[in-house]
Amino acid sequence: MKVLITTDWYDPVINGVVTSVHTLEEELQKRGHEVRVLTLSRNYRSYEKEHVYYMGSTSAGRIYPQARFRLPIPERYVGELMEWGPDIIHSQCEFSTFFIARKIACEGNIPIIHTYHTIYEDYTHYFSLNKTWGKNVVRQITRKLSRQVSGMIVPSEKIRRILEGYQVECRCGLSRPESGSLNLADPEKKELPEGRNGGKRYGNATCLHQTAQFFFMWVGRHSRWQSGGDCKSYLEK
């Protein structure tokens, strides 16, 4: 399958969306799928490098740190992607690159799915002095978005409940299936299914040793650090 991933956030930015996109890209390629990424460059220039299409953009840092707005769509690169012929488009952001994704989808009759990463009603202070008005704007924009995609993927049950409260008009599904319960209060009742490499799995986590004495819960941004590593490699060291 040919998968086009569109995202406003990509290297060299470090945040959870970028980490999620890299993970998705790597796992799809491992399964034999052909993946290309469409994102925003960090300057006015549009270019393609190693199957990543960088669209020229301008800074929107006054609205949100490191955010950018796209410049007029370069038809050359849109034409290349149309000629490549993606089977599906997986959108990761609701703003600049989503409009390009919609253009490609409409012209090629290609389905779009969208991952809803961010609870925007928690960030209304960036654009509205009135929290109630800001939440209503988020609700209306999200509902409009839901009418333009075939489905939405959410990273948590909390976000799914929020979207259902918005009365979105497409199906919403979790990015990973829920596993059985895990009783952390009693170590003798930690019944975990087998995972890869002989480890044990619970939800989206793998314990590297079957007799692990500690479970680590990561609290905070799940991002690649400036040094190029991540929390997993750090803990392994």
Residues 181-231 have pLDDT tens digits of 333 333 444 343 444 444 444 344 443 444 455 666 767 665 555 444 566
Sorted by where each starts, the structural domains of the chain and their CATH numbers stand as 2-174 (3.40.50.2000), 187-236 (no CATH)
CA 216 to chain centre: 23
Cβ atoms within 10 Å of 234's Cβ, excluding its own = 10
> Nearest CA to 103 among 148, 47, 39, 37?
148
The predicted pLDDT at position 174 comes to 83
Residues of the chain with pLDDT under 50: 177-211, 226-228
The predicted pLDDT at position 51 comes to 92
The predicted pLDDT at position 209 comes to 41
pTM over 0.75: no
- Whole-Å CA distances, 95 to 14, 123, 141: 18, 15, 11
